[in-house]
Amino acid sequence: MPQMAPISWLSLFIIFSIAFMIFNVMNYYSFIPQMPKSSLVSKTHSMNSLNWKW
């Protein structure tokens, strides 16, 4: 029946949109960034060495 086609388009759009959002949310929260230890140590070292000589 062609009269029922917009309802199925709407339901397909909603289903695919929800699946797309769930996929993006799962990818966003499953990624754990690894911070290198050397850059953290060098950053604190450079911050400690910034003392003004008046």
User: Residues in the chain with pLDDT < 70?
Assistant: 1-4, 38-54
d(CA 4, CA 8): 7
Quote the pLDDT of residue 9.
Answer: 86
Quote the pLDDT of residue 36.
Answer: 72
φ/ψ of 44, rounded to 5, equals: -70, -35
Kindly report the CA angle at 44 between 38 and 45, in degrees rounded to 5?
Answer: 85
Quote the pLDDT of residue 13.
Answer: 92
State pTM to two decimals. 0.50
Quote the pLDDT of residue 21.
Answer: 97
Quote the pLDDT of residue 17.
Answer: 97
